[in-house]
Structure 1
């Protein structure tokens, strides 16, 4: 027999099949044993083994990834916090926090120590990667933020308010025309038109033309596909062996949307880079010849400003409209405040809207119950850290989920109810820990556009509720049943508008007169 084998004669078919079957069994057994050992290690011997959480989350990434791709992650994390406490293990190497101390410990300034770096799985799986202001390391971030700060300064904001008012005028004029028709209005669409036009003007010195044409710019259609595409990439990165397959399963429309978005962004940003203007806007210092920015950094930062300065503001405006319509007593109280304060549209400006205390309370309560970014902005430890009173080893992802932080009874009384009065410091809510609400994030990486966002929201909301009576339609029921892929996947919000007989701004009157003129043929 040995001689036969030495001459290279083949084994019999039966013997070959047997050997093959044994090899398959051994391979499967090895994989099963390896996986089993990994699961046992994650459950009992991992440095995070002492932290509580769902069983599947503690032993594997399946719990996390399943919720991520289904658009349910913030909601299931909230449920986990309600069951397991203030620090929850949501993956073998990841912790979520609703302990109030975590804001400072994870995101706050750290004198004498480096900041906890951003989690690369989250920030590198965006259309702009690590060259934008949100993905840059701490040193580069500081430089980019200093350049951007000129466009968000008090002086710049004063210059920008007249531009914002022009778009509010156009918004009001368009809605007054629509309000004469019997059909309801999808106010989500019109809020998006407004915020994208404003950010287009303030970042690129030209509007997207949404309010003018009553149509979405193609860029806006592509943008959400970019966000969903980043979610698929994040999920794939957790499974290197099947990552290629998961990427192949990414819907074709998402791939095409990402490619189209990048092409449009590059074109728009390079046009702004070459534009000569004396106006102080968001990109003025970044576009200066001595800025030191590469074209890639300029394009990436422009992309970040577009998304951060438009979609999130439109989301909050949509949310507050929904909650006001679902709570008529709150709507009546806010309307009374606005209409008692002002007798004409001209009186509603940057200074006067700051006196609307109840409006601010309503906005804050909407931020709490419907945060524009309901999920987390995760960090990744490099060394061992003491976070919220507990030791966290290196290479651990740590984060605060806004949805979970703001909806827990640990911080707010009657946490699931829409109660703006809690922000007026009435005694019944004195035990609420309002400091945990950091809607624009916390620390040196917080959102630079906070003041601008409040100006836009206050001006637009005050003008709309002064000029119109708004009513709900049956179609708003279930509006909050939304998916989250970093941002909310918002459905239409159909409302009815009844124009009031009020003294309009001259610009609005002029726009209305123009809309009534017959088109040239």
Structure 2
């Protein structure tokens, strides 16, 4: 090779893009972007004046890490005790810990005012049901589903409730050898809740109580929830989300599989022609006068949501209540005395008769305060155009806002002895007269509060 050839090769190497040149360019651009974002988040961002750990103002990574760890509620309480009622927990996200915050953010809006919508990243799989739909469709879904959750509907469904409670008691007797062997009460409550809500939503039990195990649909539901948490947080990082989409689709197909099974079960229930007073029966009965109110796909999607939202949360509340009662013998004794004094046999216990048990209601309220099933308060809200005043603070539009229930309920500023299980605080005891009981909203508040509140009541 001549000298000219060597020179020509060297020149081409310098002038043609190489993998190293491209890599270097990417690194430089990334570094410049990171510096710009850092300067913007710290000194120029609309949320720059809100307090919080400096690292949380730079990146969403700490928030993502906490969310996926399942311990964000405890960290939020720690942050609020240090920084006050509002804390910046991510570059564009605030956490509020104040009795008025939920009402200001999630309460009913005046006519013409836009709704503070849910975090769009956290609801991509729920657009056709009551959880993730926009304002217009949510109103339509709620109107259709309300037929199955009225007080009258609950009374008509009471025999179904009693049947599963009796089955639970029978299975507990069998598996505990009449109280001599310990059982995992949380699992048994979960079996019962899914069988009951599954019966009301799909017209048939999942058979969890019969088989002492989770039905595949139930197991799939739990897997779907884990996938949702992962997908939501990864969605906050667009570049990473693009790479994750290249992974095997089985990791992200849980929701699609869940929806397919739900559709099959709803179709089977509709084809049965049964007129039993379950959720499907009440919803379709109420929709016949307005046939466009909810279609089949929406009915199936909402039925799936009702099972997840109604079963796991109910089991969590009951498990928490039993735990706190066993840890507080005096409260357990008072509850037992109230129940035994009100009824002579179990057949007298019903939805109407139990409403006259104030101590039992206080026990449930206290369990909900200490251990709310939706600890973080649900999906963050995105502040509507024009911003909003929350607990005396102006929050700019497009800001994501969290109302962490667990952190609020455990704040000593709002509750005396916040870590203690004291049902008496709900019965006017003088030691707790300053407690902010009105701030305990485990079923949320406003137009998107829990439609199944009557089940607990």
Contact 1:368 1:406 in 2 (8 A): yes
How much has 1:257 moved relative to structure 2?
Answer: 4.3
Partner of 2:233: 235
**Structure 2 CA distance, aligned partners of 1:76 and 1:273?**
46
| Alignment-derived partner of residue 349 in structure 1 | 350
**Shift of residue 291, structure 1, vs aligned partner:** 3.3
Check whether the contact 1:106–1:399 (CA below 8 A) recurs between aligned residues. no
2:131 maps to 134
Greater Cα offset, 343-352 or 400-409:
343-352
- Alignment partner, residue 442 of structure 2: 439
Aligned-pair CA distance for 1:143 = 1.2
Structure-1 separation of matches of 2:168 and 2:314:
15
Residue 217, structure 1, aligned to residue 220, structure 2: no
Shift of 1:248: 5.7
Identify the residue that residue 278 of structure 1 maps to in structure 2.
Answer: 275
Shift of residue 258, structure 1, vs aligned partner:
3.9
Q: Quote the offset at 1:16 in angstroms.
A: 7.4
The Cα shift of 1:13 comes to 9.1
Residues 129-175 of structure 1 show CA distances to partners (whole Å, capped at 9, x for unaligned) of 21111111111111111111111112111101111111111111222
What's the offset of the Cα at 1:415? 1.0
**Runs of 5+ consecutive residues of structure 1 not aligned to the other structure:** 455-521
Correspondence for 2:399: 396
Q: What is the aligned counterpart of 1:419 among 391, 397, 422?
A: 422
Name stretches of at least 5 consecutive residues in structure 2 with no aligned partner: none
Contact 2:259–2:301 under 8 Å retained in 1: no
TM-score by length of 2: 0.91
Query: Runs of 4+ in structure 1 displaced over 6 angstroms?
Result: 16-20
Distance in 2 (alpha carbons) for counterparts of 1:24 and 1:147 = 56
Q: Is the CA contact (8 Å cut-off) linking 1:337 and 1:358 kept in structure 2? A: yes
Find the aligned partners of 1:248 and 1:360 in 2 and give their Cα distance.
50
CA contact (8 A) 2:115 2:384 kept: no
Is the CA contact (8 Å cut-off) linking 1:309 and 1:453 kept in structure 2?
no
* TM-score normalised according to structure 1 size: 0.80
**Alpha-carbon deviations, 1:195-235, whole Å to 9, x = none?**
11111221122222222333321111111110010111111
Q: Distance in 2 between matches of 1:430 and 1:351?
A: 29
1:190 shift after superposition: 1.0
Call closer, same or farther: CA 1:251–1:329 in 2, change over 3 Å: farther
| Aligned-partner Cα distance in 1 for 2:249–2:392 | 43
- 201, 204, 217: which one aligns with 1:203: 201
Per-residue deviation at 1:18?
11
Q: How does 1:184-199 map to 2 (within 5 A)?
A: 184-199=182-197
The alignment partner of 2:402 has SS state of: strand
- Deviation per CA, 1:43-74: give whole Å up to 9, x if none: 11100100111211111111111112222222
- The worse-fitting range, judged by mean Cα deviation, of 205-214 and 282-291 is 282-291
Cα 1:69–1:245 change in 2 (3 A) is: farther
CA distance in 2, matches of 1:19, 1:207: 63
Number of equivalent positions: 447
Deviations 1:273-303 (A, max 9, x none): 3342323332235435543223321121111
In structure 1, the residue matched to 2:381 is: 379
8 Å Cα contact 2:376-2:402 kept in structure 1: no
1:57 corresponding residue in structure 2:
56
Closer, same or farther: CA 141–415 of 1 in aligned 2, 3 Å = same
- Are residue 89 (structure 1) and residue 91 (structure 2) matched? no
Indicate how the Cα distance of structure 1 residues 273 and 36 shifts in structure 2: closer, same or farther if over 3 A, else same: farther
Return the alpha-carbon distance in structure 2 between the equivalents of residues 352 and 38 of structure 1. 60
Displacement after TM superposition at 1:20 (Å): 6.6
Instruction: For residue 347 of structure 1, report the CA deviation from its aligned partner.
Output: 2.0
Residue 168, structure 1, aligned to residue 169, structure 2: no
Q: Which whole-Å CA distance do the structure 2 matches of 1:55 and 1:274 have between them?
A: 58
Looking at structure 2, the residues matched to 432 and 11 of structure 1 have their Cα atoms a distance apart, in angstroms, of 79
